[in-house]
């Protein structure tokens, strides 16, 4: 079974997606890390992000590897992300990357390169894949589709608390305005905008604990696993 989870930044997709995959014994894959890796690759080469053809070329040539953390890397990360062999797991979670990642993600060529790889990863089945366009574009025939959301204020507060927990400086009002801007860019772009697939179940995690949100997702999966009952 392939489980697609989409939703805006901070809706709990990664936490809940990873927990759901653990509960089911499935592979977990967060597609956001790929767009973040391309953004870092361009920034490190000093390429202005509005140079679409150069950024697209980079996305076709970088090697992005995602693997479970080794015991030595056990610092709260869900996965280790390597960009051309270098560990960029935390470098890709900075406010600077948050503020610029929507630019490369809007380019058609970048998306094509990423979606190709994502479909290959999903071909083995039994996985939870999270992102913005999984149920609509990457895996339109996924057996389970969930659209996870929450109010922008709650999502910003979660991101703010995550940054503080990692010992970073954070200002809630700045996180909130950056998140509103990213929501706008992700949902208004022409290529694969963030939107709920018509057949996705919407779960609003506002005010829910991670355990409650996980339970809501598990119950969607259980409903799908139950054989359809026919009227006698």
Stretch that binds ligand DC, among 17-25, 27-35, 48-56, 149-157 (CB under 6 A): 27-35
Closest by Cα among 145, 157, 151 to 196: 145
Buried b (16+ CB within 10 A) or exposed e, 4-39: bbbbbbbbbbbbbbbbbbeebebebbbbbbbbbbbb
Least separation in angstroms between residue 63's CB and ligand DC is 18
9: contact with ligand DC by CB under 6 A:
yes
Least separation in angstroms between residue 160's CB and ligand DC is 14
Closer residue to ligand DC in complex, CB, 151/231 = 151
28: contact with ligand DC by CB under 6 A:
no
Give 200's DSSP letter: P
- Is 110:36 a contact under the CB 8 Å cutoff? no
Closer residue to ligand DC in complex, CB, 114/201 = 114
2: contact with ligand DC by CB under 6 A:
no
- Residue 112 has a CB neighbour count (10 Å cut-off) of 13
**Binding string, residues 29-48; x marks residues near ligand DC by CB under 6 A:** --xx--xx------------
Least separation in angstroms between residue 115's CB and ligand DC is 8
131: contact with ligand DC by CB under 6 A:
yes
182: contact with ligand DC by CB under 6 A:
yes
* Residue reference for tokens 């015991």: 71
Whole-Å CA distances, 19 to 23, 24, 31, 92, 215: 6, 9, 16, 21, 10
**Binding string, residues 91-130; x marks residues near ligand DC by CB under 6 A:** ----------xx--x-------------------------
16: contact with ligand DC by CB under 6 A:
no
Q: What is the rounded distance in angstroms from the CA atom of residue 109 to the CA atom of residue 154?
A: 33
Closer residue to ligand DC in complex, CB, 154/186 = 186
133: contact with ligand DC by CB under 6 A:
yes
11: contact with ligand DC by CB under 6 A:
no
154: contact with ligand DC by CB under 6 A:
no
DSSP bridge pairs for 65: 82
Dihedrals phi, psi of 169, to nearest 5 degrees: -80, 145
Q: What is the rounded distance in angstroms from the CA atom of residue 122 to the CA atom of residue 139?
A: 8
**Residue ranges in contact with ligand DC by CB under 6 A:** 9, 31-32, 35-36, 101-102, 105, 131-133, 182, 186
């Amino acid at each position: 079974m392939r489980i697609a989870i989409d939703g805006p930044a901070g809706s709990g997709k990664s936490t809940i997606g990873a927990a759901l995959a653990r509960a089911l014994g499935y592979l977990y894959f967060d597609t956001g890390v790929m767009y973040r890796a391309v953004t870092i690759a361009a920034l490190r080469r000093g390429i202005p992000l509005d140079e679409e053809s150069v950024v697209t070329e980079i996305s076709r040539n970088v090697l992005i590897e995602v693997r479970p953390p080794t015991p030595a890397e056990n610092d709260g990360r869900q996965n280790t992300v390597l960009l051309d062999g270098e560990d960029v797991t935390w470098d890709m979670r900075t406010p600077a990357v948050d503020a610029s990642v929507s630019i490369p993600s809007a380019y058609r060529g970048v998306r094509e390169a990423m979606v190709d790889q994502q479909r290959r990863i999903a071909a083995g089945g039994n996985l939870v894949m999270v992102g913005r366009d999984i149920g609509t574009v990457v895996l339109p025939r996924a057996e389970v589709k969930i659209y996870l959301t929450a109010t922008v204020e709650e999502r910003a507060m979660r991101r703010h608390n995550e940054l503080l927990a990692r010992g970073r400086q954070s200002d809630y009002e700045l996180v909130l305005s950056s998140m509103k801007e990213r929501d706008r860019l992700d949902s208004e772009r022409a290529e694969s905008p963030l939107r709920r697939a018509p057949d996705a179940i919407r779960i609003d995690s506002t005010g829910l604990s991670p355990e409650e949100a996980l339970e809501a997702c598990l119950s969607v999966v259980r409903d799908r696993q139950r054989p359809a009952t026919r009227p006698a």
